[in-house]
Amino acid sequence: MSSANSKRLRIGVIGAGRIGRVHAEALRFRVPEADVRAISDVRLDAATDASQTFGIPKACEDYHELLNDREIDAVIICSPTDTHARIIGEAAKAGKHIFTEKPIDLELSKIDAALAAVASAGVKFQVGFNRRFDPNFKALADQVRAGKIGKPHLVRITSRDPSPPPVSYIQVSGGLFLDMAIHDFDMARYVGGEEVEEVYATGNCLVDPAIGKAGDIDTAVIVLKYRSGAICTIDNSRQAVYGYDQRLEVFGSQGCLLASNNAPTRTELWTAKSLEAPKPLHFFLERYMDSYVAEMREFVRCVQTGAEPSCTGDDGRKAVVLGLAAGRSLKEGRPVKISEMGGKA
């Protein structure tokens, strides 16, 4: 870490749930250039607990206090998805720089309105596709861009959760394509380096019938066609019993890049029974902690230097478009062109 800055970026965190705490802690202890001034939550006790745990001076219930605070330069939006678009609009009008968790919203019209507010306010805006900042995936994307494997032909994303979320969450999350695969849609664009033109999705409920009753699937294969003719496959499961399975492969005209899972140690145990290696890191916060810190550092750096964040509002919107297209493909049993999805995409 570099020197603590006398002109640190003054930050307010909106939402003190799990991901809000992650960002607050990262900003507080791992990003010396940040000065976390306040945290808000509709549950005041949650905000207070976070403020005490991480040594944040102020806790409050109403995020408007943060928006109205002249001593706050930027906000980190970690509230529930259905509040993102509204808060983005308000924060932009208040002249705050904005980092928001994904997805921006589940409706394109609301996304468009939020992004228009950002554009008109001229504030910095970054969307929380943290996996772009994961060392494994970033190394792959950097090497693709550096031409190490020539032109990409096939991209393969393995994205399997260790266990399903509660059905109550699935009922409001937008389902597998929008709460889980949305990261993979962004990854497909990020690592592929070009836009997707067509989506084919298929899937089933093989893990837990309760998920099916809630109208969702728990096992999916998604095929994306890029403009160049390259093809991406994503495979998702809500339950990989061996842990969080997050792998990536990009095959191109001159080679192949592969990222395997992270594990807690690089050790092996050889016995008369078998040769054993540690299972992948199980919890997404362990697996992706470095990426959360890195995205916060990029956001702070961009605001301080005037640079554009690398993960933009348009990136946030496009991932939602792909998720909606996947949903339509599954429903209609056919490939769906992105041009069918309307709007600006």
Subset of 69-88 contacting its own copies (CB under 8 A): none
204 belongs to the binding site for its own copies (CB under 8 A): yes
328 belongs to the binding site for its own copies (CB under 8 A): no
**Stretch near its own copies under the rule CB under 8 A, chosen from 88-96, 170-178, 301-309, 328-336:** 328-336
**Which residue's CB is nearer to its own copies, number 183 or number 317?**
183
Exactly one of 23, 132, 160, 183 binds its own copies (CB under 8 A); that residue is 160
Exactly one of 7, 166, 266, 305 binds its own copies (CB under 8 A); that residue is 266
What is the DSSP code string of 60-72? ES-THHHHT-TT-
Long-range pairs, 38-42, Cβ under 8 A, ≥24: 38/12, 38/13, 38/65, 38/66, 38/69, 38/72, 39/12, 39/13, 39/14, 40/12, 40/13, 40/14, 40/15, 40/16, 40/65, 40/66, 41/15, 41/16, 41/17, 42/79
Residues 6+ apart with CB under 8 A from 142: none
Bridge partners (DSSP) listed for residue 125: 98
Q: At 82, is the secondary structure helix, strand, or coil?
A: helix
Exactly one of 255, 285, 308, 342 binds its own copies (CB under 8 A); that residue is 255
Q: Indicate the residue type of 109.
A: S
**Stretch near its own copies under the rule CB under 8 A, chosen from 9-17, 28-36, 39-47, 114-122:** 28-36
Q: How many CA atoms lie within 13 A of 174 on its CB side?
A: 26
Exactly one of 45, 71, 276, 308 binds its own copies (CB under 8 A); that residue is 276
CB of 55 to its own copies, least distance (A): 5
**Which residue's CB is nearer to its own copies, number 233 or number 312?**
233
Residues 33-62: x where in contact with its own copies by CB under 8 A, - otherwise, as a string: -------------------xxxx-------
Alpha-carbon gap, residue 174 to 181, rounded angstroms: 11
Alpha-carbon gap, residue 129 to 183, rounded angstroms: 7
**Stretch near its own copies under the rule CB under 8 A, chosen from 37-45, 60-68, 222-230, 292-300:** 222-230
**Which residue's CB is nearer to its own copies, number 69 or number 198?**
198
CB of 334 to its own copies, least distance (A): 5
**Which residue's CB is nearer to its own copies, number 116 or number 221?**
221
**Which residue's CB is nearer to its own copies, number 168 or number 271?**
271
Exactly one of 68, 109, 260, 339 binds its own copies (CB under 8 A); that residue is 260
1 belongs to the binding site for its own copies (CB under 8 A): yes
233 belongs to the binding site for its own copies (CB under 8 A): yes
**Residues 300 and 75: beta-carbon distance below 8 Å:** no
Exactly one of 167, 241, 285, 307 binds its own copies (CB under 8 A); that residue is 241
Handedness of CA 41, 45, 47, 50 (dihedral sign): negative
Q: How many CA atoms lie within 13 A of 341 on its CB side?
A: 26
Sheet (strand 34-40) strand order: 58-60, 34-40, 9-14, 74-77, 97-100, 125-127
Q: CA 159: distance to chain centroid? A: 13
Exactly one of 153, 193, 210, 310 binds its own copies (CB under 8 A); that residue is 153
